[in-house]
Amino acid sequence: MYTIGQQMETSASLLEGGPLAAKIKQEVKAEIEEMVRTRGVRPGLAAVRVGDDPASAVYVGNKIKACEEVGIRSEHHALPATTSTAELLDLIASLNSRDDVDGILTQLPLPAGIDERAIIEAIDPAKDVDGFHPVNVGNLALGRPAFVPCTPTGIIELLLHSDVEIRGTRACVVGRSQIVGRPMAQLLLQRDATVTICHSRTRDLASVTREADLLIVAIGRTGMIGREHIKPGATVVDVGMNKVTDPVQVRELFGPDAEKRLDVLSKRGFTLVGDVHPAGAAEVAGRLTPVPGGVGLLTVAMLMKNTLQAATRRRS
Ligand code: GUN
C-alpha cells in the first residue's frame, strides 16, 4: 500500500489502445469509401439493446458513434426490459432477412428473462459480427475462417503492433468467458503461445500467473491481479472496466498517482479501474495496458472491421 508522497518506482511502459484504434478505423473508413465509390454499397450494422443497463447504453452509444466515423450505416434498436424472447427473435429474424444489414449485435448481458442462448443462436452466422454464434466459435476452435469476438482480436492487434512476441511464450488468460477468455486463449494458441486458462477455481492463482510472459486478465474484479501475480518484465493486458467510487480505494489502487483519479471521482462520482492493480503492476510489469485508454477502444475498432468484413463477404 502507498501513502501520498511516497515515491513509486514505475517500470512498465503503457500499451495505449487509442492510436491503434484510430489507425484501424481510418483503414476501415478508406475501404468503405472505396466500396461505396466503386460498387455503390455501404455496410450496415444493427445494434440491439434490451433494458436500461447504463453501461450497455454507453457501450452501444460508442459503437454507433464509431459507425458514423467510419461511414457504416447504423441502426440502434433500444427495446424495453419487458421485451420477450419471442419478440426479440422476431426482430432478429427480420434483421437476418434484410439485405442492407450486414452485421447484427445484441449487447450482452440481456435481461434475466430473455433466453440469451436462443438469441445468439438465431443470428445468421454470416452477420454475427460479435463472433458469439456456435458456428463461429466452432470455426475459431478449428482454426478455420470465422468471425472472432472483438476484444480478443483487438488485443492480438495491439500485441502485434507493439512488437510483443507471442510465438513460443507462456501466455496466461485469467477468466474463461465466452466473450473474452476462451476466444483469447484460442487466438494465442493459433499464434503458437503455450496457453494456460485460469478461473475462479484455480488453486494458487499467483503461482500460475507468475509463470506468464503474457498475462491477459478478464475477470471483472477491481485490482485483483497485483504485483505478486506478475512475472517481472511480463506484458500485462487488463480487460477489466470497473467503477470505483470510494476515495480510500482509489488511494490504495493508485498510490502517489491517485490525485488525478480523485479529481475524476469528485467530478463524475466514479473512476474506471481494471482488474489489475495499477500501482502494483506498474512496478513489475514490462508493459501494461491502461484503464481506461487500453483495450476498450480496440474492441469498437475491431467491430467496425468485422462489419466491413461481413459486408465484403456477403456482397461478393
Ligand atoms: N458485452 C460485453 N462485451 C460485449 C461485446 O463485445 N459484444 C456484445 N454484444 N456485448 C458485450
Ligand 1 touching residue 302 (CB < 6 A): no
Q: pLDDT averaged over the chain?
A: 96
Beta carbons of 257 and 279 less than 8 angstroms apart: yes
Average pLDDT over residues 136-159: 98
What's the angle, vertex CA 5, arms to CA 258 and CA 274, rounded to 5? 25
Catalytic residue numbers read: 63, 107, 130
Give the pLDDT score at 48. 98
Question: In the 3-class helix/strand/coil scheme, how is the chain assigned residue by residue?
Answer: CCCCCCCCCCCCEECCCHHHHHHHHHHHHHHHHHHHHHHCCCCEEEEEEECCCHHHHHHHHHHHHHHHHHCCEEEEEEECCCCCHHHHHHHHHHHHHCCCCCEEEECCCCCCCCCHHHHHHHCCHHHECCCCCHHHHHHHHCCCCCCCCHHHHHHHHHHHHCCCCCCCCEEEEECCCCCCHHHHHHHHHHCCCEEEEECCCCCCHHHHHCCCCEEEECCCCCCCECHHHCCCCCEEEECCCEEECCHHHHHHHHHHHHHHHHHHHHHHCCEEECCECHHHHHHHCCEECCCCCCHHHHHHHHHHHHHHHHHHHHCC
Beta carbons of 146 and 183 less than 8 angstroms apart: no
Ligand 1 touching residue 306 (CB < 6 A): no
What span, in angstroms and rounded, lies between the C-alpha atoms of 303 and 310? 10
Task: Categorize the per-residue pLDDT at 291 as very low, low, confident or very high, splitting at 50, 70 and 90.
Answer: very high
Beta carbons of 237 and 295 less than 8 angstroms apart: yes
What span, in angstroms and rounded, lies between the C-alpha atoms of 245 and 224? 16
Average pLDDT over residues 159-173: 98
Beta carbons of 58 and 243 less than 8 angstroms apart: no
Task: Give 95 Cα–ligand 1 centroid separation in angstroms.
Answer: 18
Beta carbons of 118 and 179 less than 8 angstroms apart: no
What's the pTM value of the predicted model, to 2 decimals? 0.95
Is the predicted pLDDT of residue 68 greater than 60, yes or no?
A: yes
Average pLDDT over residues 272-282: 97
The backbone torsions φ and ψ at residue 253, rounded to the nearest 5 degrees and listed phi first, read: -75, -35
Ligand 1 touching residue 108 (CB < 6 A): yes
Task: Give 193 Cα–ligand 1 centroid separation in angstroms.
Answer: 25
Task: Categorize the per-residue pLDDT at 4 as very low, low, confident or very high, splitting at 50, 70 and 90.
Answer: very low
Write the pLDDT tens digit of every residue in 78-117: 999 999 999 999 999 999 999 999 999 999 999 999 999 9
Average pLDDT over residues 239-254: 97
Average pLDDT over residues 242-258: 96
Look at ligand 1, atom 11, and give the residue with the nearest C-alpha: 108
Beta carbons of 17 and 237 less than 8 angstroms apart: no
Beta carbons of 279 and 253 less than 8 angstroms apart: yes
Is the predicted pLDDT of residue 1 greater than 90, yes or no?
A: no
State the residue for C-alpha cell 510465438. 167
Give the pLDDT score at 10. 53
Share of the chain above pLDDT 70, in %: 97
Give the pLDDT score at 9. 53
What span, in angstroms and rounded, lies between the C-alpha atoms of 294 and 216? 12
Ligand 1 touching residue 105 (CB < 6 A): yes
Amino acid at 94: S
Give the pLDDT score at 11. 78
The three cell numbers locating residue 69: 466515423
Write the pLDDT tens digit of every residue in 186-236: 999 999 999 999 999 999 999 999 999 999 999 999 999 999 999 999 999
Please give the residue that has the higher pLDDT: either 6 or 234. 234
**C-alpha distances in angstroms, 171 versus 88, 141, 145, 296?**
39, 17, 23, 20
Task: Give 180 Cα–ligand 1 centroid separation in angstroms.
Answer: 9
For ligand 1, mutation pick of 130, 219, 295 (most atoms within 8 Å of CB): 130
- Ramachandran sector of residue 231 (left: φ over 0; alpha: ψ -120 to 50; beta: rest): beta
What span, in angstroms and rounded, lies between the C-alpha atoms of 64 and 57? 11
